[in-house]
A and B are shown apart, each in its own frame.
Chain A
């Protein structure tokens, strides 16, 4: 299963990005192959609907779970129809490495 994490940077030391649609990077972690991929978010500059564009980007990569600090109001309904699970982490000081370690357990 592929898990997407919103990240502020492109290495495992960077912290979780509080925003979903306009986060700096998406980390795509595959729980089966244990591989990670850092994807620069092309939607940072968008004036509107950055969240929807990000959902589209991630759903094309068959992501089944998204971890972020917060999601916009339109996102939940979209993700529910695609059966993608959302996880809201209210601890912005967690690093990407720590979150991936939690997923590995």
Chain B
């Protein structure tokens, strides 16, 4: 069974299409990245899978159920969360939110152990009593990853997880993700194509339509079509240009 299945989905905002006839299947052990320019509908696609946006046409199933039911088995790391930096909450309590089980069911001791395990996984255990707003962008992102991990998900969705963190922290974050892919499928949205070829196994190129879905290497040839302009890709650890130079200047 596929973990998430998006079939011929159309989404409109104010009558203008955000997603046109998009189909995408996420299987066990996938490490898939959705890439595309700003406004391509990447976040919209994630929200469709999470049942936060209802598609106008098409169908979505998550773990064989409608998204609003299946999403409880998804770990979700949203794009830079807009919270007040003075918000009175500790790192531990933020992660504990991921163990939510329903109305009137309090957190158990086991929940607290799972939270500590996840904080150790993301190397944030020593910050557990700090107020979340006092952490750096990269540290916060690790906390939000831990909050998704405590759901013990089989599918992890991340929306631009490294957009607001510096390059060193970014590299460490992707290495952390790579260490998780044995346990769960990962679907990562980014416009940062430089990381894609190094860490992920497959790529979906999105610009309202889905242009390509396959192994990461093949994607590089499709990028120009997606971005609709010549693209240079300089990947980490690859000392040469992957695509040709701009020729129109």
- A is bound by B: no
Which A residues fall within an 8 A CB radius of B? none
